[in-house]
Structures are given as C-alpha cells and as structure tokens.
Amino acid sequence: MDLCVAFRTTVVRIALVASVCLPVSGSVWADKPEPSDATAAAKENAAKPEAAVADFLGKYCLQCHDTATADGEREFETFALPLSTEPQLISAREIVNQMTLRQMPPEDAEQPTDEQRLALLETLREGIADARSKIQSSGARTVIRRLSNREYENTLATLFGRRVDTLGLTADFPKENTSEHMDNIGGALVTSGFLLDQYFQAASRLVELRLGKSAMKPKSWHFTDHFLQYEELSGAHRSFFKYEYLALYEQPNTDTRQGGYGHIEDFLEGVPESGLYDIKVHAQAMHRDTHYDSKIFRIDFSEPFQLAVVPGDATKGHIHYPQAIEPILGTAIVPDDEPEWLSFRVWLDKGQTPRFIFPNGPYESRASVIEVNKKYKDEFKDKKAASGVRRTHILREGELPHIKIGEIKIDGPIQEPQRGKEEVAVFGKDGFQSDHALDQLYAFAQKAYRRPLDDADRSRIEVLYKKRLSEEATSRQAALDTIKMILCSPAFLYLSEITPEDDTQLHPYDLASRLSYALWSAPPDDELYAVAATGDLADPAELKKQVLRMVRDERSNEFVNSFLDSWLNLRELGNQPPPRRAASEYYSENLPESMKREARLFFRHLLDSNGSVADFLDADYTFVDKNLAKLYRLPERETLRLADGFQRVDLADDSHRGGLLGMAGVLTVSANGVETSPVTRGVWVLENILDAKPPPPPDSVPAIDADVSGATTIRERLALHSEDKTCYVCHRNMDPPGFALETFDPIGRWRSKYPKPKGKGEAAKIDSSGKLASGESFANFTEFKEVLVASRLDVFTRTLIKKLLAYATGRHMEQADQYVIDDITERVKADNYGLETMLVEVLTSSVFRSR
C-alpha cells in the first residue's frame, strides 16, 4: 500500500475510534476546542467526508457493531474511508444496503434524518466507486490478454485462408466472460486447464481436416429415392410420396421442428474428405399460390420460396433437428411452375452431410396442418381423414405449401490448385517442401505470432519437428504436428507484447497487432506488417495513414459488428426472446438478424461519410429491410421486397424512429422479451449513452414489476417507490429516460397503451413524459431525443470515445485517461462530431499507443 494512503487510513481509523470515546467535537491529535467553538468545529468536522462517516457510525451503529459486540458478525469500528481493500468494499456495500432499506438503525434506536442518511449514502457510494477504480486499476495499462473466442476463429480463418466456422472449433469452449458487455477486456479473459485442452483439440482437428486430408479423386453420388423423414412426417411420406421426394414444410427455427431440415438418409456418413463439393438439387416450390388463408402459415406468399444448404453431422446430434454448427453455405430461389436444377458449391468438412432448409418457409408446420384441417375439412373427399390431424390427405388433395425435392447430385471434392487455399496460406504458393520444411514453419510461426521470431522460438520449432522425424513420422506429418504446437503457443493465443517493460509506448509490432485486432479482429496484413518492420508505424502520420486504409477496407466490418455487439449489447439479442404467440414475426421473419443489421448499416454509414455522432441520438433516416419496415409500419413495407435487402429510408416526422433509441434492436435488448421496465431501459440509456452508471440496488430490494395487471401503471408504482428519498436519489436519474421509451413494446413495436389486463378493465394509456434530474422536461419520445441532442451531445460524445478506447485497447478507461479523452472530444467537436474523425483520433491517441 502507498505510504501516504496507509498513513491517511490510520489517521481516519483513529478518528473513528475517538468518535466513540470522546465528544463528537473532540480529536485525539488536536487540542480540544473551547466550548464557544464547538459548533464551528462540528461543522468543520462534518465537512470532511471521512470524519462525517465516522461521526455517523459512531452515533448510530457502533453501539451494536463495535469490535467487542459485532452483532451479526459485522463490526464497523475499524471501517474508515478511503476504502482500500475488498473486505472494506463489502462492508461499505452492506451499510449502503441497510441504510437504503431503512433496516438499520433498528426501529427502537435513534434514527438519523433523511438529510443525514442521504449524505452518508452519497459519501459511501463515491467512496465505493473510487475504491473500485483503484483496486481494479491496471495502472492505465492493458493487461496481457488472450484472444477472445471470436478473435481466435477469425485469426485461424486468416492464417488458413478459408472460413473455419463450419468446424465449430469454439463450440465446446467455456462461455466467454464479458466486462461491461465487451468480450475483449484483458482482465475478464480467464484461461483454464480445460480451455488449454480445448485449444489443443481444436488445433489438432483443424490441421488434420484441412492440411492432413488425403488426396482423392472426385466422386459422384446421385440420390433419387429413400428420402426418409422422421417422426410425424414419416407416415405421410411413406403413404403418399413412397419416400421418393424430400419435402420441406417450415423454417428451421420453430418449436415443433417438423419438416425444417431435409437430409439424405443414404448419405448420413457425410463426405469422405474435406473439400469443395458441387451439389445439384432438383426442386420445385409447391402451392405458393395456395387458396388457404396466408395467416395460417404466417409468411408472405408474394415472396418466392428460398432453399438453403447447411452442414449436418449425424454424430453430433439428431439430423432432423438444429445442431450447434450450421452456417448457411449457399442459397437459391426455388421455381414455382416446374422443377429445376439448383446448383450450390459449398465447403464440407470430412463427415459432414448437406442438409436443406426453407429459410422463409411457413412457421410451425404442425399448427398449419391442424388449422387447415379445421378450416377447410369440407374440401376433402375423405371426410373421416379430414377430421383428424394428418397431412397425408392434404398432400394428396390439398394445397399445402412446401418445397419438393426429387433428386440430389453431389460431386467432389473439387480439385483446387496447389492442394487448396489452406496449403498455400500455410506453406506458400508451392505447397509443402520437405527440404525447406523448417523455413516454411518459421514463416508460418512468424505470421501466427504476429512478430519476428527469436532464437527460442526457432529452437522450439526445430526441436519438435526433428523429434517427430525421429519417431518415424513423415516430414509432412512432422510439420503438421509442429503447426499444432504453434497454434497452442502463448505467443499465438495471447496478444503478448515484446515491448520492454520499462517502455510506455508500444513498439511497432505490438502496435500493429493492437491496430489490426481493433479494426479487423485478425492479424496484421502484409502491408501493416511491413510498415511495422521499418519502424515507420511509430510515426503519427504513418499510423494515421494505416488507420484510414484499414477503416476503409471491408474487413473493418468486423470492427463495426463486434463493437456494436459490445457497446449496445446486441450480442444478447435472442437470449430473452418474447413469447411466440405474442410476437410470432420475431421468429418467422428472423427479426434479431434484421435488428442487428440496421444498427450496423447505420454505424457504417456514419463511419464512411464521417457523419455526426449526433445522428445516433436523433436522425431523420434509418436502414430497413422489408421485415423491419413492417415492424416499424413504414410506407416502404408496401414496396420493399426481400430481394431488395436493406435500403436507406427517410423518416417522416411522426415515424417514431430515428437514432439508436428508435431501433428495435436497442429496444429489444433493453427489455426482457415479455414486458418493459422504465428502470431497465433507463439504466441502459445511462450506461450506454450518458456514461452515468447508477449504483446497484440493495440486494434485498424486490424488482418492480412492469404493468401487466392494469391495476396501476408502472409510473404510479415507481412514484410510490421513490417517495423514500434514499430511493429517489437514484430513480430521479434512471426513470425519466425509461419513461420516454415506454411507448415501445418488448420488441420495439410502437404502442400508445399497455396490454389490456386479463378479465375486466381498460388498457392503461402510456405517459412518456418526464423531467431529467437536471431540469429539462419532455412531453414524449420525440422531445426526449431533442433534449439529448440539445443538452447531452458532448456527454454522449465522451461516452462513445470511452467505449471506443476500451474496445480498442482491451481495458476500461481510468481517471488517468480523462485528459486524453478531453482532448479527443475537443478535436471531434471541431470536426462537426464526425464518427470517422473520432475513430481515427482514438486509434492514434497516446492511450491507444501505450502499453
């Protein structure tokens, strides 16, 4: 402990003990004031936070919680500010909880006034915040950190020259810890023995499947029948199709999961070797013009049916149900009038089998069949069958929408030049050369380690390679085993620094890695590495040049996606989904993906145009696809097609959208899927927009339920809750922003009333007005956004700068960083609050360039 801090803590503790033994105005290190000065001395003593806390505890707490008594195993006689240890933090938190809940002092004891209670709470909360920042401080330096799971897969994809998400290398890794929603903060990225074992298994699997594959001649498969489908589909397909057709009836993300995946029963063992495969499917869209009510199927029949291919692995789970690893490998539009051959070229790893899905298909086929039976049973000749829940007679006589596949051809693996992209990426354009194996391994290790190799690096590589040769491994296998070792090395798994410990500024290679992982979540490319090798990257002008080049490269979309996942917590979209009956479009139209896409395109637009960050608070435009246009009730919902993708749209004054707070992604992730809470959304705004994280509530304070009964509104309940001044101190900041967002339901749909209560009663109208603690009032959501732009733009700008710095450096900002943040803020303001300007300033700042 710092000697000054230790001395100050000792002095305060003496004062605390003295407050019990002596009159409040007394002191053990100063002469006792004359009686005439008692009042003035007390006031002076109370003005000092440390002394004020000591006085309060001495008067109201130590009778029961001194060292000798310690009721409830809690003693506060040795408690003092400033807080310097974790136990003191816990004690401070307990005092805050008890005082907030008014559980202490006991009812029969002398009670402090509200003013005294509030003063204590404010002092302790400030002390807790200050202590946390000091105890958890990294000294304004980035803690050496490992690659996050996301960065790990991106790095491997870069090193091997091909996507690796088809392998699910991190599927069994421990769930990543996040810190303030960020997945790349060094202090939160723990490493365990289990994780190290997973790294070895992942490296071995990747290397053997991609580089250890045997050379084989392409084969052909042709499937025309025996298209089994399981469970409740089996009977209908045996009876009507005779298993001669593979049919898809619904999209793959439903509850029932019947008909969402089409597999090839005679190809469950999968492809014999990893590689590219040509797949041809003879398919037709059936009954897209059905006369059945489209509401039964909950899809838009004006859109053509889509067919997509995903990998499956019969050894990893039921082939008929969703699996952990199933990225879409290819998509096609299915013709209506007659079957046609649809072609896909996809990558499949050894053992994987292609499966077919219907991305925009009906939602819950089982429910559709039941409803058709009920509503259209008189249309069928077989009245008895029509009264039951069966699909055979609907397939025979009716118009059940589905995709029908009659034949499937598979050819591969397709021969690639130089044995494939992986071979070239790892060993060079001429592939593996046994007489140059060590040089090739050194070159790969240099890319993997993101820096020049030292003698120790070369020695480890050479020793392992020769050891495997001595064990009679082939030269190629010895090289592959050495690559596995390289991929398990700390130099690869960690963003380790070769900058000397005493140097405060990162050396060029370390700076290059930090920059490339900030913008691309991947290793430096050849140009950035070459600039680092010359040492020119340390020159601010060259660093800015590289930043601009990399920001304008499409690979920076990785930064956009990952930063928004962290800043806005969009990573959690889908973790608290709404009830399927209440918001079926959330599932049937895959709204979470559209929600994320809107935020990403909005951010990308501002970055590319150097647009003002004020647009994040309020804007007269956004980006939507057909599904979001429907959710937002925009005029474009009538004209947009799914094939149009996302389009920029201008917003009318009454659109209720514009800016982050009008985006469904933000509104969904700040709710719980079932209901909304002004407190939850208010806290989200404080933390992510205004950098004003409120203190946590006492542990035993029950959650305030949102309005679902209709008996009272949530506003009325919060008003009652906040009558206690200790609660009001926090709720006056949290609640108003949340009230402004109450006109949006849990998935971001606009509403003017709460849901109608069960039984009798009218739905309560929503009051979205409020008044900020600083005095600004607003009547509705639109005015709230106007207030933010008018009075909080600079606060928001600083918040965004801090978030960008934390993401880019892998550590949270501390008090020592505030001067740099101030300087960046002023330069960004001078350039009309431009987002590109902000990012460039962040990535060329002294904070970013420091260890």
The type of residue at 294 is S
Please name the residues in contact with 193: beta carbons below 8 A apart, sequence gap of 6 or more.
none
Per-residue pLDDT at 119: 77
Q: At residue 696, does pLDDT exceed 70?
A: no
Q: What angle do CA 538, 543, 546 make, to 5 degrees?
A: 140
Segment among 365-369, 508-512, 694-698, 734-738 with least mean pLDDT: 694-698
User: 567 pLDDT band (50/70/90 cuts)?
Assistant: very high
The count of residues in the chain is 851
pLDDT of residue 255: 75
Q: pLDDT tens across 386-434, in order?
A: 455 578 888 888 899 999 999 999 999 999 988 899 999 999 999 999 9
With vertex at residue 284, the alpha carbon angle to CA 281 and CA 287, rounded to the nearest 5 degrees, is: 155
Q: Write down the pLDDT at residue 790.
A: 95
- CA-CA distance, 448 to 453, in Å (whole number)? 10
Indicate whether 46 pLDDT > 50. no
- How far is residue 822's CA from residue 417's CA, in Å, rounded to a whole number? 54
| C-alpha–C-alpha distance, residues 81 and 91, integer Å | 11
Mean pLDDT of the chain: 86
Q: Which residues, at least 6 apart from 508, have a Cβ–Cβ distance to it below 8 Å?
A: 531, 532, 533, 535, 536, 537, 538
Instruction: Report the C-alpha gap between 306 and 304 in whole angstroms.
Output: 6
Distances (CA, A) of 59 to 52, 54, 56, 64, 309: 11, 9, 5, 11, 73
User: Is the distance from CB of 179 to CB of 187 less than 8 angstroms?
Assistant: yes
330 burial via Cβ count (<10 Å: 0-12, 13-18, 19+): middle
d(CA 188, CA 143): 10
The answer to whether residues 508 and 528 touch, using CB atoms and an 8 Å cutoff, is no
| Residues 6+ away with beta carbon under 8 Å from 209 | 167, 274, 349, 350
- Please tell me the predicted confidence (pLDDT) of residue 64: 76
pLDDT over threshold 90, residue 693? no
Using CA atoms, how far apart are residues 382 and 384, in angstroms rounded to an integer?
5
Torsion sign (Cα): 419, 425, 429, 432:
negative
* Other Cβ atoms within 10 Å of 171 Cβ, number: 13
Q: What is the band of 365 on the pLDDT scale with cuts at 50, 70, 90?
A: confident
Say which residues have a Cβ less than 8 Å from residue 661's Cβ, sequence separation at least 6: 617, 667, 685, 689, 740, 741, 781, 784, 785
For residue 134 the two structure tokens come to 């000091």
> What is residue 304's predicted lDDT score, i.e. its pLDDT?
96
**d(C-alpha 540, C-alpha 186), whole Å:** 26
The percentage of residues in the chain with a pLDDT greater than 70, rounded to a whole number, is 86
Under a CB-based contact definition with an 8 Å cutoff, are residues 687 and 812 in contact? no
Cα 844 off chain centre by: 26
User: Are 755 and 708 contacting, i.e. CB atoms less than 8 angstroms apart?
Assistant: yes
- pLDDT mean over 162-172: 94
The torsion angles phi and psi of 835, rounded to 5 degrees, stand at -70, -40
**Residue with structure tokens 């391994």?**
441
- The one-letter amino acid at 233: L
What band does 232 get if pLDDT is binned at 50, 70 and 90?
A: confident
Weakest-pLDDT range from 189-203, 359-373, 454-468, 612-626: 359-373
> Quick one: which of 808, 155, 153 has its CA closest to 522?
155
pLDDT in the model for residue 694: 79
Q: Are 560 and 603 in contact (CB under 8 A)?
A: yes
Assess whether pLDDT exceeds 70 at residue 725: no
Q: Are 785 and 796 in contact (CB under 8 A)?
A: no
pLDDT for the residue 27: 32
Q: What is the pLDDT of residue 489?
A: 96
Q: Using 50, 70 and 90 to split pLDDT, how confident is the model at 19? A: very low
Mean pLDDT of 60-77: 69
| Tokens describing residue 225 | 């029948």
**Is 586 in a helix, a strand, or coil?**
helix
Say what percent of the chain tops pLDDT 90.
Answer: 59
Taking the CB of residue 644, how many other CB atoms lie within 10 A of it? 12
Dump pLDDT digits (tens) for 296-341: 998 889 999 999 999 999 999 889 889 989 999 999 999 999 999 9
Alpha-carbon gap, residue 525 to 215, rounded angstroms: 30
Q: Is 181 left (phi over 0), alpha (psi -120 to 50) or beta?
A: left
- State which amino acid sits at residue 509: Y
The pLDDT score that the predictor gives to residue 33 is 40
User: In which band, very low, low, confident or very high, does the pLDDT at 13 lie, cut at 50, 70 and 90?
Assistant: very low
- The 10s digit of each residue's pLDDT in 475-502 is 999 999 999 999 999 999 999 778 888 8
Q: What is the DSSP string of 236-253?
A: HIIIIITT--EEE-S-TT
What digits encode the pLDDT tens for the residues 181-198? 999 999 899 899 999 999
Question: Computed from CA positions of residues 348, 350, 354, 359, in that sequence, does the dihedral angle turn out positive or negative?
Answer: negative
Confidence of residue 816 (pLDDT cuts 50, 70, 90): confident
CA angle centred on 472, ends 466 and 474, rounded to 5°: 80
Q: 772-806: per-residue pLDDT in tens?
A: 888 899 999 999 999 999 999 999 999 999 999 99
The dihedral built from the CA positions of residue 804, 809, 814 and 816, taken in this order, carries a sign that is negative
Query: How far lies 505's CA from each of 500, 538, 811, 845, in Å?
Result: 9, 9, 16, 11
C-beta neighbour count of 383 within 10 angstroms: 10
Is the pLDDT reported for residue 466 higher than 80?
Answer: yes
**Cα–Cα distance between 491 and 449 in angstroms, integer?**
5
Nearest to 301 by CA among 227, 233, 368: 368
pLDDT at 269 over 90: yes
Cα dist. 478→58, 448, 457, 459 in Å? 73, 18, 17, 15
Contact 744, 750 (CB under 8 A): yes
Mean pLDDT of all residues in 36-47: 46
Half-sphere exposure of 323 (CA within 13 A, CB side): 25
Q: Is the pLDDT of residue 706 over 50?
A: no
**CB–CB of 183/571 below 8 Å?**
yes
Q: What is the pLDDT of residues 738-762, one digit of tens each?
A: 899 999 999 999 999 888 777 667 8
Q: Which residues contact 208 (CB under 8 A, 6 or more apart)?
A: 480
**518 pLDDT band (50/70/90 cuts)?**
very high
